[in-house]
């Protein structure tokens, strides 16, 4: 019996389930932020990034909804640079208390702190910042995008398994680069590794012409090492590092072997079928922000189906309970951490053409779930909002 048939059979046993009058409206609220220029424009970001993931989650929810008489809708609101972000948020919250946020971390906190957001269920589908999951957390803000530390913990587990202990780092000066570099250092301390050397990326020349001359000299000062770590979340210079280093060594981090939320090369656990359905709907491959938005809407759909409720407080409580599980096509059921609202999930370690490993890796144990070896664990969490809620 397939999972869908089992679900239908279970629902039939719920008295009155097919007659439940439930309608869920969700707003995808996006703040347009200009992207800094990079050396290469070979990989432009799609205009529907994130939005396509939410629309895909809507389509998946509607598949089940037609058996239950439920309704799901999605409204996309995009606020231009310089626009009134909080006015748009207030309007969205007046129409629905379920909002998927695509905005920088501080902008998301500003929405979470609105009086109109009291009792709302907000999903962070775009900001990897550690702080909003830690000392700056908000009880009405759940996170379907992994944090920087979840990704870097996954990568460092792989380095430990391979016994690659001589490590060096090159980091860009973009805030995202610096945050990822800080997460890498935190993960190295967590798993008892050290950086042998690090350098800041200082070039403003056109590396498309100068990489073969400049990069070998730049990396010569790093000495010998096992792996060169790259913190280039802007996707600016990392592509010019591989095969141009003074030492012939692998690169990892923002380039080379990358820890990601999702990738087109994930193929197991039913992922191919998911990838194909997304491609048929959008004409392109699913990207990390798409996956996070999809997971947000699907989490709501799963909670609605299981609770037969559309009340925000009921759905939030269920999503933060031990009973909630979301099939994420990454080999393990996903759920939310009760102490900070972060979705637990495996992290693929990938190259452009294949999955190399899926973290958490074998041998990294935890008293509750190995997924909590990735990111901020409960014992070290500074988030208090969820305890007070």
What's the full length of the chain, in residues? 389
Q: Considering only CA atoms, which of 25, 14, 72, 100 is closest in space to residue 306?
A: 14
**Using DSSP, how many helices (H) and how many strands (E) does the chain show?**
11, 15
Cβ within 8 Å of residue 83, ≥6 positions away: 31, 32
pLDDT means per 10 residues in the chain (389 residues)? 43 46 96 78 86 98 91 97 97 98 98 98 98 98 98 98 97 96 98 96 66 84 96 93 93 98 96 96 97 98 96 98 97 96 98 97 93 96 88
> What does the pLDDT read at residue 44?
82
pLDDT value for 152: 98
Specify the residue for token string 């702080």: 131
Provide CB contacts within 8 A for 375, sequence distance 6+: 133, 146, 147, 149, 150, 153, 342
Of the candidates 25, 10, 101, the residue with the CA atom closest to the CA atom of residue 61: 25
Quote the pLDDT of residue 35: 80
Which residue in this structure is represented by tokens 């909804």?
65
Which helix (DSSP H) or strand (DSSP E) does residue 336 occupy?
strand 333-336
Residues 90 and 114: beta-carbon distance below 8 Å:
yes
Q: With contact defined as beta carbons under 8 Å apart, do 147 and 129 qualify?
A: yes
How are beta strands 347-350 and 258-259 bridged, if at all? antiparallel
Q: Is 79 helix (H, G, I), strand (E, B) or coil?
A: strand
- For residue 192, give every residue at least 6 positions away whose Cβ sits within 8 Å of its Cβ, in sequence order, or none: none
- Check the CA dihedral 261-265-266-271 and report its sign: positive
Q: Give the whole-angstrom CA distance, residue 301 versus residue 327.
A: 12
Which of 356, 343, 337, 358 has the alpha carbon at shortest distance from 269?
A: 358
Q: Which residue is listed with tokens 């700056």? A: 136
H runs (alpha helix) in the chain: 3-12, 51-68, 85-95, 105-112, 148-162, 175-190, 207-220, 271-282, 288-307, 312-319, 385-388
> Which has the closest alpha carbon to 184: 199, 166, 171?
171
For residue 62, give both structure tokens: 């509607």
pLDDT at 109: 98
Q: What is the pTM of this model?
A: 0.92
Three-state DSSP state, 17 = helix
Look up residue 330 and give its DSSP letter.
S
Peptide bond into 70 cis (omega under 30): no
């Amino acid at each position: 019996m397939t999972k869908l048939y089992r679900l239908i059979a279970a629902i039939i046993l719920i008295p009155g389930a097919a007659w439940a009058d439930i309608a869920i409206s969700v707003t995808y609220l996006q703040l347009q932020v200009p992207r800094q220029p990079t050396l290469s424009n070979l990989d432009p970001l799609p205009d529907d990034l994130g939005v396509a993931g939410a629309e895909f989650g809507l389509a998946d929810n509607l598949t089940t909804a037609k058996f239950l008489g439920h309704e799901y809708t999605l409204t996309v609101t995009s606020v231009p640079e310089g626009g009134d972000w909080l006015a748009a948020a207030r309007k969205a919250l007046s129409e629905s208390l379920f909002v998927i946020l695509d905005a920088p971390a501080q902008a998301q906190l500003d929405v979470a702190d609105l009086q109109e957001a009291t009792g709302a269920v907000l999903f962070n589908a775009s900001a990897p910042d550690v702080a909003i999951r830690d000392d700056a957390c908000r009880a009405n803000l759940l996170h379907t995008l992994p944090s920087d530390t979840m990704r870097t913990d996954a990568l460092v587990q792989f380095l430990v398994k391979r016994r690659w202990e001589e490590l060096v780092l090159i980091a860009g000066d973009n805030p995202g680069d610096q945050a990822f570099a800080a997460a890498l250092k935190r993960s190295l301390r967590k798993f008892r590794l050290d950086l042998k050397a690090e350098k800041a990326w200082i070039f403003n020349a056109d590396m498309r012409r100068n990489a073969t001359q400049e990069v070998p000299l730049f990396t010569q000062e790093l000495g010998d090492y096992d792996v060169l770590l790259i913190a280039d979340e802007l996707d600016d210079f990392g592509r010019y590092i591989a095969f141009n280093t003074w030492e012939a060594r692998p690169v990892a981090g923002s380039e080379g072997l990358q820890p990601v939320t999702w990738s087109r090369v994930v193929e197991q656990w039913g992922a191919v079928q998911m990838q194909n359905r997304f491609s048929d709907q959008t004409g392109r491959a699913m990207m990390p922000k798409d996956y996070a938005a999809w997971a947000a809407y699907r989490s709501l759909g799963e909670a609605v189906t299981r609770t037969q409720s559309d009340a925000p407080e009921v759905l939030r409580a269920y999503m933060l309970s031990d009973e909630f599980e979301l099939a994420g096509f990454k080999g393990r059921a996903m759920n939310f951490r009760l102490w900070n609202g972060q979705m637990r999930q495996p992290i693929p370690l990938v190259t452009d053409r294949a999955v190399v490993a899926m973290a958490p890796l074998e041998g990294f144990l935890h008293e509750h779930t190995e997924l909590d070896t990735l990111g901020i664990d409960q014992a070290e969490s500074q988030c208090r909002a969820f305890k007070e809620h």
